[in-house]
Structure 1
C-alpha cells in the first residue's frame, strides 16, 4: 500500500458513512435547504454514529481513529450536501479540536463528552468584521478583572455558533498589547449575544452568525492553553482545517460527477443520450481527472499528518490540497450545471445547490490567495 491509498478499513468506513448520507441526508436535504433549517436531530444521529468523536481518544467517548478517517467522513457527507459536511468539519476541527489539543484536563472533561456524542456543538470565533485573512488584526479584547476575563468585541461568520445545542464558542482576543489568547465562552453568558443568522448565498443548512461581546464575563480558568498562544493555536487549527475543507471539496466534485454521469445517460437528445456527445463525454472525463487529483492531494496531506511528519511539510501539503481541491470543486459545479443545461438552473436539481455552495470553499479557512502565499513561501520565495 502506498502512502496515498486508503486502507480496507477506511474503505469499509466510507461505505458506512455513504449509506448514512444516502439514507438520512439525501431524502431531506432539498427541503432543509429551502427552509434554511439546521437539523439538530441529524447532528445527534451523526454523534450516535460516532462521527464527531472519530479523532477523539476513547476516554472522552471517541474512537481514537486517524485524521484520514475524519476526512473520509467529511468527503462522503459533502458528496450529498456541503452544509452537512461543513457541520461535521467545523464541529470537529473548530469546535472539538481546540479543546482537545490545547485544553486542560478539567476543560476536556467538562466539554468533550457532549460534543463528541453530538448532544452539543461548538464554534470557533476567529474572524472579525475587520480581521479576516489578516487574523492578526484581531480587535476583540479581554481583560482580567477579579478573577474573570471581561470580553468586548465582535466576531463574524462563525459556524455552529447559534444552534439550539451550541454549548460554547472559543474566541480569540487581545489580552495584552502584543498578545492574542483563546478563551472559552459558554453559550448564555451574559454580555455574549448571538446575532441573527446570515442570509447566505449557499450553505443554507449550516448555522452561521455574527457574535457580539459587551462586557461578557467568564472565569479566568476558561483561558485555553497558555496566555498569548492564541495566534499560534489558531494557525495550527487552520492547518488541519484546510485538509478537512479539501476533503469537503472532493466530496462536492465527486457529487457533481455522480449526478452528471447519471443525467448524461438518462437525458436524450436527437434520439441518443447526451453522454454519447463528445463535448459532454470529454467534459466528464476531465472532471474525473480533477476529482482523482484532488482526492490524491487531500489524502496525501492527511497521510502526512497521520504519520507525524514535520509541521512545515503538513502545512505545505495542506495548502496545496486546499487550493487545488476547492478550485476544482468550483469548476466541477460549472461543468455539472452545463451538462444539465436549463435544468441545472432549476432548484429541483441538486446541481443548483452544489453551484451555490461551492464558492465559499475558496474563501473559508484561508482564501485561495492565502494558500498561494503559503505555497510560495514553502518554495522559499520571499513573498509578503
Structure 2
C-alpha cells in the first residue's frame, strides 16, 4: 500500500466509513427491494454530471412493425368508430356489449401476451400508441384496455408464472375468455403498498377432495379496476407461516413473516366477493372493491408457485414500469394531442369582435403552451417506451414520465377548457373535453400517487440508484465483512471525491464561460441546448452530493428538497426527449420553435428548482454556498418569451402537415355526429374561404358593403356588384353553417333532469 493510500485511509476513508455506517439511512425490506429493482438507463447519464449525448442519439428510433400498424389501421379504427363516449358515460355507465365483445375478439386485452399463448406480443411503443389513440376518444374505454396490459395477472404470469400457470391462464386471457383484475390497494394501503394489511397464513386445507398445503387469506381491497367484471383476481397480501410448514417442505430455517405474496384466484372460487362498483368521478370504466374472509387457496395458485412466496413486492415493483411507463403517460399524451387538435381549431372557428379569438394574444398564450408542451409529451412518451422496448426496466425514468406527463396534461387540459370557455363546460355529445377533465385526477392518483412519486421516489430512489457510487458505498458500509467493506469503501470514496471535485470545478467554470466549452453532439441551433443541459447535469450532481453529505439519512425526511432535486432530474429527462425527437424526425426546420420552447421551458424549470433548493436548504449556509459555486453570476434561464410562444401557437391555428404531426394521435371521426370531426370540418372550411373573406373585408372597408348587416345580406350585395362569384358565396355560406354547428353546445328537454322547486316558465 502506498503512503498516499495509507494516509487517505487513515485520515479520510476510515473516519468517513465509520460516519457513513452511522448515518446510513435504515432501509426496510420493501425499500431495499424497491431500490434494487429495475435498471438504470439514461437517468444514470443525466445524474453523472457529464451525460454522453451520443448515447442518447443512438438509442433506437421508435417504430411500429407492419403487424402493429395494420392493427392500428384496422381493428383500432373500427373500435374508435364504435365508441360513443357520451352514451358510455352519461347514459349506460358501461361499454356497450358489442364493444366488450369486440375487445375480446380482437385481443385488445392481450397486447403484451406472447404469440405462443395466442396474444399479440406488441411492443411497448405500440401498446402506448393504441392506448393513447383510444384515450383521445374515450378515457373509459382506454382504461378498460390499458389495465389488463399493465400491472396485472398477464404481465406477472409472463415474467414469473410457472409453466402450468402460463399454459392454462395466458391463452384464456389472450382469447378474452377471462377478464383479469389485480387487487393491490385498499383503504389504508395505497402508495404505501408495502403496508397492506391483507393477510394470508400457510396451512393445510381441503381442495378438490384432498388435504393440500395452501394459504388461508383474508383481504379488503378498494379502487380495483375491472374488479366488477373480472373472472380472475390477482391478489397481493402479506404471508405468514407461524407453524413453519414451508420450512418443513423446503428443509430450511423457519421464518414466520414470509413477506408480500401474489396469487391468482378464480372469481367464482368460494369466498371471493366481487361485483360491486365504485363511481370514479362519473366515468364509466369498471372499478370496485373485492373482499374475502378466510378463503383457502392451494399453494400452486401463488404466481410462480411456492418458490415465489414472499417475493411479491419485488415482482410488483419491477412490473410497475408498464403502468408508469406506458399506460399513464399514454393518457397524458392523449390529452395533449386532443387539446392541441381541438383548441387550435376552436380558436380559429370562434369569433369575437369580428375576428377569430386565436388572434388575441391572451388566447394565443395558452395555445402556445399546449403546442410546445404537447410536442414535449409525445417526445417523452416515445423515449420512455424506447427504454422498455430495449429490455430495460428503468424505475426512475418511468416515475418521471408518470408524474410529469400526467401533471402537464392536467395543466394543458385547464388551458384548453379556458379557451373553449362555455363550449367546454356544458356536457353533452358535442363536448369532447368534459370527460377528460373528470378523468385526469384518476391518472394523477394511481400507480403511485403523484405527490409521493415527486416527493419520495424520483430523487429519493434516483439519488441512490442513479449515482455512480452511492449504492456501491452503501453496500460496502453494510458488508458484514468489515475489513473487506472498508477496503471497498476506500476505493469507492476516492473515486467519489474525484467525481465531486471535478463536477464542482467544472460547474464553477461553466458560469464564466456560458457553458460554451461543454460537449454537444450536433452543430447548429440546438447545440447550445446540449451545452446548457450539460451544465444543469453537473449542477445536479454537485447539489445531490452536498445534500447527501450534509443531511445523510435525514434527506428522505426533507421531502420538498428531495422533490426539487427530482424536478431538476426530471426536466433534464424531458429536455433530452425533446432533442431526441428532433433528431429522430430528421431535424425539421419548422419544428425548431417547438424544440426551443420545450428546452427553454425545461431549463427554466431546472433554474426554478435550484432557486428553491438554495433558498430552503435545511443546513444554514449550505444553500448560499451552493448558489455561489454553481451559479455565481445568477441563473439566466428565462421561460419561453412571448415571441416564441406566439410562434408555436400558430402551428395549431393553421391547417397543415405540422399540425397533423403534432396532434396525430387525436381521433377525428368521419361520422356527421363526431364532435371532433365537426370542429375539424368547420376549421378546414373556414381556412379555405379566408381569401374570399379578405375580399369581403376590403369591400366593407371601402364602403361598398355595409358593415352592420347580416352575412347573407353582405353576400347578396357582394354578388350584385361582382365582388364574389356565386360559387364563392356558396363556400362562405357552407363554412358559416359548419362554424355555427361547431360552436354550439348541447341542450336537453327539461324532463331529462329531476325538477327542482321552480318549474320551467313559472314565476317564483
Q: TM-score, structure 1 length as denominator?
A: 0.91
- 8 Å CA contact retained: 1:51, 1:70: no
Shift in alpha-carbon separation, 1:132–1:252, aligned structure 2, 3 A: same
| Aligned with residue 154 of structure 1, among 209, 217, 220 | 220
Is the counterpart of residue 207 in structure 1 residue 293 in structure 2?
Answer: no
Trace 1:179-218 onto structure 2 (pairs within 5 A): 179-194=259-274, 196-202=276-282, 204-218=283-297
The alignment status of 1:142 with 2:200, answered yes or no, reads yes
Pair 18,336 (structure 1): closer, same or farther in 2 beyond 3 Å = farther
Aligned residue number for residue 72 of structure 1: 129
Q: Secondary structure at the match of 1:7?
A: coil
Which 10-residue stretch deviates more, 111-120 or 228-237? 111-120
The gaps in structure 1 that reach 5 residues or longer are: none
Q: Which residue of 2 aligns with 1:82?
A: 139
Kept in 1, the 8 Å contact 2:186–2:221? The answer is yes
Look at both structures and tell me which one has the larger radius of gyration over its CA atoms: 2
1:132 alignment partner, SS class: coil
1:61·1:117 contact (CA, 8 Å) conserved in 2?
yes
How far does residue 47 in structure 1 lie from its aligned partner after superposition?
Answer: 3.5
Alignment CA distance shift 1:39-1:383 (3 Å)? farther
Q: 1:69-100 CA distances to partner (integer Å, 9 max, x unpaired)? A: 11111111111111211111111112411122
Q: Is the 8 A contact 2:217 2:294 kept in 1?
A: yes
Q: Provide, for residues 191-210 of structure 1, a one-character-per-residue CA deviation record: whole Å limited to 9, x for no partner.
A: 111262112214x2210011
Give deviations 1:33-75, integer Å, cap 9, x for gaps. Answer: 0131144432332343343332221111123222111111111
In the alignment, does 2:432 pair up with 1:350?
yes
- The C-alpha deviation readout for 1:236-288, integer Å capped at 9, x for no partner, is 22222101211121112212222222322322222222222222223122112
What is the CA-CA distance between 1:134 and the residue it aligns to? 0.7
Q: CA deviation at 1:356?
A: 0.5
- The answer (yes or no) to whether the contact 1:44–1:119 under 8 Å persists in 2 is no
1:328 equivalenced with 2:408 (yes/no): yes
Report the CA distance shift for 1:102/1:338 in structure 2 as closer, same or farther (over 3 A).
same
Distance in 1 of aligned mates of 2:269 and 2:70: 43
What is the rounded CA distance, in whole Å, between the counterparts of 2:126 and 2:349 in structure 1?
34
**Secondary structure in 1 matching 2:227:** coil
Cα offset, 1:156, TM superposition: 0.9
How far apart in 2 are the matches of 1:3 and 1:273?
Answer: 43
Counterpart mapping for 1:89-238 below 5 A: 89-93=146-150, 94-143=152-201, 144-146=203-205, 147=212, 148-163=214-229, 166-176=230-240, 177-194=257-274, 196-202=276-282, 204-225=283-304, 226-238=308-320
- Shift of the 326–43 alpha-carbon distance from structure 1 to 2, 3 Å rule, reads same
SS at match of 1:63: coil
Between the aligned partners of 2:60 and 2:103, the Cα distance in structure 1 is 27
Contact 1:17–1:77 (8 Å) recurs in 2: no
Is the 8 Å Cα contact of residues 14 and 76 (structure 1) preserved in structure 2? no
Two-structure CA RMSD over aligned residues (Å): 2.1
1:188 shift after superposition: 1.5
Partner of 1:299: 382
- Partner Cα separation in structure 2 for residue 20 and residue 201 of structure 1: 27
C-alpha distance in 2 between matches for 1:365 and 1:191: 27
Q: Check the 8 A contact 2:417/2:433 in 1, yes or no.
A: yes
Aligned to 2:561: none
Q: 1:37 aligns with which of 94, 97, 103?
A: 94
Distance of 2:463 and 2:376 partners within structure 1: 21
Higher mean alpha-carbon deviation, 139-148 vs 72-81, is at 139-148
TM-score, normalised to structure 2, is 0.47
Cα distance in structure 2, aligned partners of 1:175 and 1:40: 39
Are positions 1:275 and 2:355 aligned together? Answer: no
Matches of 1:8 and 1:306, distance apart in 2: 11
Structure 1 contact 67–306 (Cα < 8 Å) conserved: yes
Could you say which structure has the higher strand fraction? 1
The answer (yes or no) to whether the contact 1:4–1:296 under 8 Å persists in 2 is: no
CA contact (8 A) 2:79 2:102 kept: no
SS of the residue corresponding to residue 62 of structure 1 reads coil
Partner of 1:295, secondary structure, is: helix
Change in CA separation of 1:375 and 1:174 when aligned onto 2, cut-off 3 Å: same
Matched residue, 1:379: 463
The answer to whether the Cα contact below 8 Å between 2:215 and 2:298 also exists between their aligned partners in 1 is: yes
Aligned residues: 376
Deviations 1:162-208 (A, max 9, x none): 11xx2211101111225110011111222111262112214x22100
More helix by share: 2
Given candidates 258, 262, 276, the residue that maps to 2:341 is 258
Instruction: Give the distance between the partners of 1:4 and 1:323, measured in 2 at CA.
Output: 24
Q: Structure 2: which 5+ runs fail to align? A: 1-56, 206-211, 241-256, 465-543, 545-554, 558-764
Distance verdict in 2 for CA 1:137–1:100, change over 3 Å: same
